[in-house]
Structure 1
Amino acid sequence: MGKRLIKVGILLKQNWYVFFIFLGWFFVNYVVFYALTARDHLEALWITFYFKTLPESISLYGNFYPIISEFVIFGVIFSVITTGFFRKYNPKQTCINYARSLKNHAVIIGYSHLGRRLRRFLYKNNIECVIIEENENLVKHLIELESPVIIRKPYNINILKDANIQAAKLVFTTKNDLETLIVSTSLTRQLNTSCKIVCRCFDDSVAEILEKKIRCKTISTSKYARDHILNEVKKLNVKSTIIIGYTNLTIRLMFAFSSLGIKYTIIEKDKNKVLDIIDDQPVIVGDAKDKENLREAGIDDIDMVIALIDVADEILLIADIIRELNQDCHLMCRFFHEEVGNVLEQHFNAKVISQSKNALKNLIKEGFFEFYSEHDNYYSFSD
């Protein structure tokens, strides 16, 4: 069902009584003319829709009927316009209705960096997908486009039914939140026993349970990024690092660097994030844009800086300060937007990695989208 039909359906639902009166008017008059024309179906139909006029010899009502009908038609049009003016069209309802109408589609729970990249990939390959995201600001542009979006937490089975998840072929859970992951994945499997489910999960023990009990594929974007960084660290023979930002990837790098004997210092401006490790790990609580914090971390003779910052202007400022203090160290940045990544590579001699990009490439290599190629052209990947 297309968006236009969905809009028509909403219009009819909002103005059902008006259209009932409109159709009732013509039906009643058809019955009247049918009786007056000695039960002539065709003649009654022509008169009802103004192709003929009822002879005055039969009844004077035929003279008044067209005039009265004009008032009825005008009233219907006026009512629809005023209803639309006062009630206003709600695009969110169109988005939900559109989502309910899809079949053999994909569902993305969480419009994260990975969720955005997945949607873009699916859109390029003509695969319909529904987004379930509780933060309206993240999907505001999709609502304006009247794309299939549901602005709710996926904690209720009816929310998943709105996405017609029972008819989906592929479901992604991309939010970095274990509660959302566990609840939505369990409910999805209840509604759909055959679809492929791909979950983003940082906790390896939880991932193992989900794969075993719910039959889903789990991925860790931080694990992909860690492996990529470790390859670079070993290739460049790095002995000392500064990690800017405390994330899931930071935790993985801490364990990896400790086992390899690589010295590291963490800079994190939010003290609450590092309360659990501040006494046991080399942590500096402060802003990486502050030169003194970088100097305290040993920026002058460090081998590599790994910046895990998602804000564009902040990462550019930090990269500029790092290059001011140390022109020769290796700089690795994790960032989603290719345009900002190009600036970092060209002007700051940085190597940019995208966790979501690597995750998507791995899913493609592992054949998670191949069943869509049975009826359509084989999918393509480009950035």
Structure 2
Amino acid sequence: MSILNILIEIELKLKQYKVQFIFLFLFWFAGFSVFLVIEPNHTFWEYVLFSLTVRRPENAGDFTNFYSLVWPILLEVIVFGFIMGELLEKYNPIITSRILSKHKRNHTVVIGFHHLTERIIEHCIAYKESFCIIEDHEELVEDLINLGCPVVVGDPTETINLGFASVGRAKEVFIGIDDARIALICTEKIRKVNNKCPIYVRAFEDHVQDYLKQPPLNAISFSTSKWAMDGIQKWIKGKKGNVVVIGRDSLTHRIAYNVSLQPDREVFLFDDEHDGIEFSVNDRLHFVEEFARYLSDLQAHVNLEEVTQAFICWKRDSEFDESLYLTSKLRLRYPHIEIFVRIFDEELVDLVENYKAKTFSTSSNAFKKLQELVPPFSAIAPKFDD
């Protein structure tokens, strides 16, 4: 255990026993003051010894006897209780992680724990780069907390949590939250306390990106869906036939919209959470507000014999089973359809490719693109062995 961690743990324990230690000091000071009055003609150090019950004055009265009885009890309960707690108790890991963050200097701050920011954290850990992360949902960062990483669990828009993350002393900040409102609030608050560090903000809408780039924010905004779409364009360019797109996020909507701009192609977008998309809907884009888990869910709305491409873009890890099942059924019943499956774990590539489907990872591609934006001093700057 490092000296810093030991000091942090002692600080935690002192905070837990703050009230008890204050009461102990006041009791001692009161006893010291009373001995000054009732036992005159003694030296200063004798009064100290009296108040610590190391020595008793001659002809001790009732107060001395009472004080000599109570003081050892308080000393044992508070001081020795603190020492034993320091040796035996397991500290609250959330508080420990927060204090670790507070002591950071010239570090990388990551806000939000999702697929892209998870790759940033993994890179920092692998190359021993100093970092801390703010995440509102404890269950997402539970493993990092148990590993003793600097984590602030709480709302990133609250000034106190940004303070715990030491954003004022950070060398760079990465904001990977989907919510534009939260991203804007965080950027504005961070810029007020740190006007030098680069702030990288994930933002979908063009007007949000333009606002972030303007003074005084001067943030570096990017869209992971735009980056991903650059690679997907080669799969849809010059193709014929109808397309099925399944998913809920901005990348899913962007794929459906871009394909619908191609002549003589019909697009069927299955999104069970939204009732529209961020783009202008044309006559060739058909929106289906349903969860497409089985072939029958698709067949109820589209003739799969006329479909030549299918994009399965679910982003939740828990839905990979549905992705794999639908991929297998499409390959078995409609082998003419090109299938593209979004994944976030490279270990799953072989499973998907067993069904002759192509895979793509938006977070992997976005991380590489982000590495191209950062300066050499950045924690995620490409290393020579990358």
1:69/1:272 CA distance change after superposition, 3 Å: closer
- The answer on 1:227 being equivalent to 2:235 is no
Residue aligned with 1:182, SS = helix
CA distance in 2, matches of 1:125, 1:261: 48
CA distance in 1, matches of 2:282, 2:12: 56
Residue identity (%)? 26
> Tell me, which stretches of 5 or more residues in structure 2 are unaligned?
30-42, 46-54, 59-69
1:360/1:271 CA distance change after superposition, 3 Å: closer
1:339 maps to which of 347, 350, 353: 347
> Residues 15-164 of structure 1 correspond to what in structure 2 (within 5 A)?
15-16=17-18, 75-76=77-78, 79-80=81-82, 89-164=91-166
More helix by share: 1
- The answer on 1:239 being equivalent to 2:230 is no
Please report the RMSD computed on the Cα atoms of aligned residues, expressed in angstroms: 4.2
Equivalent AA in structure 1 for residue 289 of structure 2? V
Q: How many residues align?
A: 364
CA distance in 2, matches of 1:122, 1:268: 37
1:104/1:320 CA distance change after superposition, 3 Å: same
> Tell me, which stretches of 5 or more residues in structure 1 are unaligned?
28-38, 42-53, 60-67
Q: CA deviation at 1:21?
A: 8.7
Which range moved further: 127-136 or 9-18? 9-18
CA distance in 2, matches of 1:79, 1:365: 54
Q: TM-score, normalised by structure 1?
A: 0.78
Q: Deviations over 1:261-313 (max 9, x none)?
A: 26243342526433996998312333322323333423234221111112222
What corresponds to 1:218 in structure 2? 221
Q: CA deviation at 1:104?
A: 0.7
What corresponds to 1:351 in structure 2? 358
What corresponds to 2:12 in structure 1? 10
Residue aligned with 2:371, SS = helix
Residue aligned with 2:196, SS = coil
CA distance in 1, matches of 2:255, 2:372: 25
CA distance in 1, matches of 2:137, 2:283: 35
Q: CA deviation at 1:122?
A: 1.5
- The answer on 1:371 being equivalent to 2:373 is no
What corresponds to 2:40 in structure 1? none
> Residues 282-361 of structure 1 correspond to what in structure 2 (within 5 A)?
282-295=286-299, 296-310=301-315, 311-345=319-353, 347-361=354-368
1:304/1:84 CA distance change after superposition, 3 Å: same
Q: TM-score, normalised by structure 2?
A: 0.78
CA distance in 1, matches of 2:4, 2:326: 47
Q: Deviations over 1:84-104 (max 9, x none)?
A: 89x973222111111110011
What corresponds to 2:183 in structure 1? 181
Q: CA deviation at 1:238?
A: 2.1
Q: CA deviation at 1:7?
A: 1.1
Q: CA deviation at 1:75?
A: 4.0
